[in-house]
Chains A and B, each alone.
Chain A
């Protein structure tokens, strides 16, 4: 389903990034990194108009030839980015939303861990498991 899932800190550095192993990992780094431009643009645009009642799900950030990049921003400005294959047309917006929600829940669990330092790379096994689940579903 997803080919790359990333969690990005408020200060815009990656807390977690995982991509399908077959592909060039750096490419996804660049894809996710550049998608932050759009995320920032979207946040700033939304911030002005809606105030606090913000939709966390940002929707499609940008389509590229091969991938679609979706974004999600928590209230603490932690960003989730999911990259999916463009060829996967069956994927609905709702499914992406639920993936983000799952990701957010798992991330919240990570943050609740008293041994986790906010700002450190995420190494939680549970979180990793959730991410793996989202990435293998394609089959």
Chain B
């Protein structure tokens, strides 16, 4: 018969214990039993009175009788004591109870030294009787002297043990030494010659070994060593291998006890070293142990120890030997296994892990025959524990995993998934796997991915079979998150499929799953599904960006630092700055955060409910759902939300829902994510304005501005000089009232000289509607007026200057024109390559800015800006190729000759102020003459002295010229119209003016007025007078120049013009002067005037002219001659009767 159940808890010290079985019978509640059992077991060592020895006791509540049968082989396997625990409520039941107690004793009767029965619940007569083998307690709670009872019991066992020991030890001479044998040997010895020396030696050897065991148990270590040595000698001689092994093992055990008083079994054994040290320190004498002064109390034992005790190395050698002997017997498998375990424990104490692993390796291969599944689990678990003990964590984890798999082996009818799961969790450290995904965030992957993945798969499966899909989801998420790099495409697919499966039953979340007090499963955010590379907070669109009112900003700057600029960035502020972003978000407006994401999966990834995680202000996140194509590469995703309150907002991360698992991914846990700061200020809400225009929108963007800076843009085509009305409708689409509105314009990107106001508007009308409630609109009319100078385009008229007038059908060498109107006879443009790209259409661009504000944001000093781009393509209308003047008859007037060219393809009519329409055909040039009054440019308002000071003379001159041009234009009022297009506009001569023309057009600063008979007389105007009457002639000089003029002398020279080129100055007989023919004018100061009078008498009828001339004087030469031209006077002298007749 063989021993089948190994005790894996055994250690070398167990050899010195006596085995006591504590068993319940009858009705004993389990918890009460174990309470009592624990109290009994606390009496693990008892020092024996008078002998200075200690008895160690090993308690078992369950012990197989088969194992008991090996008691002769190793006495610590023998049940020597029995403590039975029972309940008995009435005296009536007592006999039956007593009977059963005896029955219990029967089981171990062959080996039992003594027994006790603890009876609970019985009171009265029977309970009062004094019996040594019985103890009566009224209840489980009232049994204070259990420990004392047990001690008494142990002492009684000791007495028996001691007597047996002495009995056997002195039994040398005895008649015949009985042969001790193990159960399976019995049949082998049948019919053996009992008288042979060999047999006798065998008997003696075995008995020696037995005595050694007894000595060891009885606390006589040195005696035991001596006996074991003798047994080894004897048994070696007769090749009794099994028993030789046992003797060697006994020797080892005794040596171990001597070397390692602390024990090799760790706490597993449940011994209490503290008790032995405190209570027994004084009286206890352990052979070989040193006393406090370092000198052994008994020198003889010290010598004996040195002689008999094995050295640590020898212990292992002897263990090896013993095990090799055990190995020869198939039926001694349990003994061999236990010896291995004991040796491993010793080696663990000696820190000889590698040799220990060899013992364990051997233990693995010990075949114990058919083991039950439970035994297998136990065996693998203990192997795992032992590997752990010697520091082989991987091996330990391996066996623990095997044990876990054994729990759910297909042969087991009811698989223990829970136990399997628990064991699997215990293997995690061995595979350097923690279930916290944070451990995987930093650096390279830790541990052996292939086996880790396997373990995770098993955890998932076990938790699923346990009926806990939540756990499965968590483990699968973890697998996917941490092992993504190691999963093949196929595996990725499988894992995600099963994850979706499980999460449909139990959606995964961010809560911590608590498995036990020390093991919690932290949430697994999917930071790799998708992988986020960068997070960037986006500014609001330009039209919605808040701007700070300048004055308030200045204050802030001045308080921050006394320096305008400092290269030294203080660290504290630098840190703050690098986090805070220098734009603002507005409460109530949608804000955007752009993530660059990447899908590492080999298939499309659907991310649902992706939103922002923020703190600081109330934020309404508007989650997005996205679908990322397989291995997408970087993919921009914009997450949006609306801040509901003002303050500083921090974007902490984002949340996703992938495969039914929601994750909160915090940026602080993602060091790989690039971010330019996550803190931004949210300012109080501002109104929003939307803009609509009457003109079509355009895609044109003024060059220096980017597209997004303009909220919209309009475009229109106009002929030069045309005016267009643009109606802008402004609607308040926000939630706040618009309280202020400002409009400004800026002409951008033009090299052209713009005459007149390009954009003009009247804001008062619109302002009267403020404050503008949400949803209401206000309109603003802006007039666009284009006046550009096209006159410089000589290339349009290259032949025009030759003959000047009435050039029709001239070829136009502009590329655009060629496209529009291809002509076969177009001249090659070889010599004019510089102007190849010239387009005669000019563009004008301007930006209209609307600044508005309102609501809480206005209180904080913020406003918004909306800009409208205006793009105008200006086509030339009429322009003046040449301007000339001809003097008119009056000195106050002159003729302006304009060569007007029509560059359009349409028939065009031009009308000036006082003349009739002039019709111009396409590309026709004609001359137009307009009689105009001369201009008094001096009367124009002078520029401010201030501005004049800053601008350079050239600009000043331009400015002046422009003013003159305006004056001329307003006087001329040259209009054009294209009847076919129903377009009309003004034409400006400004560009065509030159200095000479201007001089001609200017009124002289010295104004001469000649009055004949008191009537002003000028040029063509004919003054009538009667023959014989004196005609008064008055010459008036008004000085408008800055300097005094004069004195001057004038001579009046009458003459007659015969209209044939002959002028008769010899009119002494026809005209006579009354008084002097010379007039003198005194010095005339500026702004003053002076007059001189004379008279004439015409003697004959006729037409006379008066030529008033200056008498030559050198001083006057400094003034231009033109100033001194006096009007000629035309007098018609009539006969008196004629007049009477008239």
Residues of B within 8 A of A42 (CB): 354
Interface string of A28-55 (1 = CB under 8 A from B): 0110011011100110010000000000
Answer whether residue B1000 sits at the interface, using C-beta atoms and an 8 A cutoff: no
A65 near B450: Cβ-Cβ < 8 Å: no
Cα of A8 to Cα of B354 in the assembled complex, Å = 21
Q: Do residues B432 and A14 form an inter-chain contact, with CB atoms below 8 A?
A: no
Interface residues of B (CB under 8 A from A): 353-354, 357-358, 361, 365, 387, 391-395, 398, 431-432, 444-451, 454
Is A67 close to B, CB under 8 A? no
- A29-B448 in contact given A38-B354, A41-B354 (Cβ < 8 Å): yes
Instruction: Give the number of chain A interface residues (Cβ < 8 Å).
Output: 21
How many angstroms between the C-alpha atoms of A97 and B445 in the bound complex? Answer: 31
Check A26/B444 contact, CB under 8 A, given A37-B395, A38-B354, A42-B354. no
Further 14 A-B residue pairs, CB within 8 A, beyond A12-B447, A13-B445, A33-B451: A13-B444, A14-B449, A26-B454, A29-B450, A29-B451, A29-B454, A30-B451, A34-B392, A36-B394, A37-B391, A41-B353, A41-B391, A62-B357, A65-B365
Whether A11 sits at the interface, judged by CB under 8 Å, is yes
- Given the contacts A12-B432, A38-B392, A26 and B353 also touching, CB distance less than 8 Å: no
- A73-97 residues with Cβ-Cβ distance < 8 A to B are none
Indicate if the CB atoms of B395 and A34 lie closer than 8 Å. Answer: yes
Task: Find B357's partner among A11, A14, A38, A45 (CB 8 Å cutoff).
Answer: A38
Say yes or no: A13 contacts B449, CB within 8 Å.
yes
B202: min CB distance to chain A, Å: 36
- Does A63 belong to the interface (CB within 8 Å)? yes
Q: Are B450 and A11 in contact (CB under 8 A)?
A: no
| Contact bitstring A1-14, B, C-beta under 8 A = 1, else 0 | 00000000001111
Give the Cβ gap from B279 to chain A, nearest Cβ, in Å.
40
Determine the main DSSP class of B at the interface with A. helix
Task: Give min CB distance, B200 to chain A, whole Å.
Answer: 42
B357 surroundings in chain A (CB, below 8 A): 37-38, 41, 62
A119 within 8 A of B: yes
Determine the distance from Cα of A65 to Cα of B362 in the docked complex, in whole angstroms: 10
Can you name the residue of chain A whose Cβ is closest to the Cβ of B444? A119
Report A-chain residues with C-beta under 8 Å of the C-beta of B398: 30, 33-34
Q: How far, in angstroms, from A26 to B448 measured CA to CA in the complex? A: 11
How far is it, in angstroms, between the C-alpha of A29 and the C-alpha of B393 when the chains are bound?
A: 15
18 A–B pairs (Cβ distance < 8 Å), ordered by A = A13-B448, A13-B449, A14-B448, A14-B450, A26-B451, A29-B451, A30-B451, A34-B392, A34-B394, A37-B392, A37-B393, A37-B395, A38-B354, A38-B357, A41-B391, A45-B354, A62-B357, A63-B361
Chain B residue numbers with a CB within 8 Å of A119 are 444
Q: Complex: how many Å from CA A33 to CA B450?
A: 10
Report the bound CA distance from A80 to B357 in whole Å.
21
Q: Quick one: closest B residue to A119, CB to CB?
A: B444
Q: Which B residues are in CB contact (< 8 Å) with A63? A: 361
Pair B392/A41 contact, Cβ less than 8 Å: yes
Closest Cβ of chain A: how far from B358's Cβ, in Å?
8
Give Cα A36 to B392, complex, Å.
9
Query: In the complex, A14 Cα to B394 Cα: how many Å?
Result: 14
Of all chain B residues, the one with the shortest Cβ separation from A14 is: B448
Q: Complex Cα distance A34/B448, Å?
A: 11
Q: Which residues of A have CB within 8 Å of B446? A: 11, 13
Q: Which residues does chain A contribute within 8 Å of B395, judged by CB atoms?
A: 34, 37
Residues of A within 8 A of B445 (CB): 13
> Cβ of B394: which chain A residues have Cβ within 8 Å of it?
33-34, 36-37
Contacts of A17 in B (CB 8 A): 450
A-B pairs with lowest CB-CB distance, top 9: A37-B392, A29-B450, A34-B395, A34-B394, A37-B394, A41-B353, A37-B395, A34-B398, A33-B448
- Contact partner, B444, options A11, A14, A37, A38, Cβ 8 Å: A11
A37 surroundings in chain B (CB, below 8 A):
357, 387, 391-395
What residue in chain B is nearest A36 (Cβ atoms)? B394
Given A37-B392, A41-B354, A12:B448 Cβ within 8 A: yes
Write the chain B residue with the least CB distance to A42: B354
Residue from B391, B392, B394, B431 with most neighbouring chain A CB atoms (10 Å): B394
Provide the residues of chain A in CB contact with B392, threshold 8 Å.
34, 37-38, 41
Contact check, B448 vs A62: say whether CB atoms are below 8 A apart.
no
A34-B395, A37-B393 known; A13 and B353 CB under 8 Å? no
Report the bound CA distance from A133 to B619 in whole Å.
Answer: 64
Please, how many angstroms separate the alpha-carbon atoms of A36 and B391 in the complex? 11
Contacts of A36 in B (CB 8 A): 394
A62 to B354 Cα, complex, angstroms: 9
B361 touches A13 (CB 8 A): no
- Contact of B361 (CB < 8 Å), options: A11, A29, A33, A62: A62
Interface 1/0 per residue, A110-128 and B, CB below 8 Å = 0000000001000000000
